[in-house]
Structure 1
Amino acid sequence: MSAALALGDDALVLSHRLGEWAGHAPVLEEEVALANIALDLLGQARILFSLVGDEDELAYLREERAFRNLQLVEQPNGDFAHTIARQLYFSTYQLFLYEQLAAGKSAFAPLAAKAVKEVAYHQDHAEHWTLRLGDGTAESRARMRQGCAALWKFTGEMFQPVEGLDVDHQALEARWRDAIGEVLERATLTVPEGPRSGAWAAGAGRQGLHTEPFGRMLAEMQHLHRSHPGATW
């Protein structure tokens, strides 16, 4: 499995999920914020795919089992709190991952160095909303707690080794756990209960095994390209 493909698929799939909020975000400001984050991720995906092959073919012509994204990023948006929980988990992981890559000498170092600033914004945005919802009304707190709990089982996959990705996964996981725990504590929430690393309940996206919602999302994402092969705009 290509590490570039795995990271590119993460960015592409989450970009599409965030794009689904267009016209549906709770406030206009969030419409713009989520769209900007989606575009940042799409830009990352394009660069990563260019290291592997043709970006359009990789995005629009592969079958479901050929995608290597984390199961976390393919999960449906749910309500706004659910989306924020997914974003908090992933953007915190991605920030720490890119910081490690930027400090190394691999082919990913230039991309990671450029992407760190925008990913830091993604993480800050998710943290801000986690605090706002978790320490808000009884309803917002309940929804934020439910989102964090529902997605927790998918987070262990982020720390499984990926061939060609030269990072310290144990250090990455430890730092991620500390950061997530600190944010949730400030938000008057608790870290969800669940199996520890190595026995977490879900996560085979890196092996091409995906959850049911992914197939529907992929069909929607690829429909136009497959319906008009070779079309130019």
Structure 2
Amino acid sequence: MSRLLGMLAVLLALLGGPAHAGAVKLSPSSEYGLIAVMIEPGGQMAAANGGYALNMARFSPEEHASLANSFGGWATLNGVGKMNQIRGYYLTKAKPGSYVFMSLAVKSWGVCYNGDTQTFDVKAGEVTFVGRYDPRDSLIELSEAVRNGRLPSMARTTDINFLFDTSRLALTPPEQLEPWRPELEAWLKNEQPGVDAPIVAAQVVSTHFNTGRDAFGMRRICGGYYAKKDKPPAEAKAP
């Protein structure tokens, strides 16, 4: 019997891993939606640093600008990969609207996906599956940047030290993961029984977004409140 239970535990782990957003609730009448992301393991770099944050933000496709700021507009997954987890699903709440994958951040370092990313829409009362995210190339790029001096090895401020313009979001859209629905439905049933809402595939669209400067114009930031008047990636220059 114990051997059978052990095999069952392994099977459930392979199906989707543990819940990573705590217990959440969602129904068709909810005023918010959920973003569901399948995420590949991040390896030792993620685990050794307590995981990473995957940041998504409200977005204006017309202006290529983040609408998120210190007052809200973010949909963030924190502590991803901190236990060197296997591939798994992650959930985060989001108000209705357009979103963009903005950055990956490890402690005080990060990669900004301003030059090559994906945008998608979220509706209230729905689970929006955006596909499978693979952080490995971004984590390797970040590690090499710290090693070769492109980023400081010691954080001088509480701000994130970002790589800009070159990082590419590695996202496989839902249509390339068919049949993805049965696995996600099974994971939600086992790990998030409070979610009783339609599951939809996001229509992810390639895009870029403008970066900005801080309130003093001294530091370049990855999107954020001051993003709208900055230049597109091809014209932008690092500080």
TM-score of the two chains, using structure 2 as the length reference:
0.27
TM-score of the two chains, using structure 1 as the length reference:
0.28
Higher share of residues assigned helix: 1
**Structure having the higher Rg:** 2
